[in-house]
């Protein structure tokens, strides 16, 4: 299947969903540096998928997918910390963490196919 737009990439769609969740769950946080960092990391996942796709080169796309995958790890790390610091509840932690893991696995598969 040929993908014509980055918006059609399922990993991008799911990373947008994760970003929206993170923005909503941390919207009221007064820990501005933590909030800003986890938001930036989640946005980085989706934006690096988009940027890599638009480069129109498989090697560059793969490079940006690796960056995106790294941002997934950063988000999961911060979610664990947020949970342990009682910034989010267990249900929110599990939902966002599982979504992040799912995206990471999709990115790994995508990288292999390139």
Query: pLDDT tens, 30-77?
Result: 999 999 999 999 999 999 999 999 999 999 999 999 999 999 999 999
How far apart (Å, rounded) are the C-alpha atoms in residues 16 and 93? 17
- Position of tokens 């969740």? 21
Continuous segment of H or E residues that includes residue 51: helix 32-54
Q: How far is CA 56 from the centre of its chain?
A: 21
pTM of the model: 0.95
Each residue's pLDDT tens digit, 99-109: 999 999 999 99
CATH class of this structure's domain 6-113:
mainly alpha
How far apart (Å, rounded) are the C-alpha atoms in residues 77 and 107? 18
């Amino acid at each position: 299947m040929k993908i014509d737009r980055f918006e059609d990439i399922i990993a991008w769609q799911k990373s947008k969903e994760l970003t929206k969740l993170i923005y909503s769950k941390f919207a009221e946080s007064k820990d501005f540096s933590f909030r800003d960092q986890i938001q930036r990391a989640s946005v980085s996942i989706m934006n690096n998928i988009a940027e890599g796709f638009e480069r129109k080169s498989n090697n560059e796309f793969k490079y940006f997918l690796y960056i995106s995958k790294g941002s997934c790890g950063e988000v999961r790390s911060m979610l664990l910390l947020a949970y342990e610091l009682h910034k989010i509840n267990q249900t929110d932690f599990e939902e966002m963490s599982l979504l992040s893991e799912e995206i990471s696995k999709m990115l790994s598969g995508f990288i292999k196919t390139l």
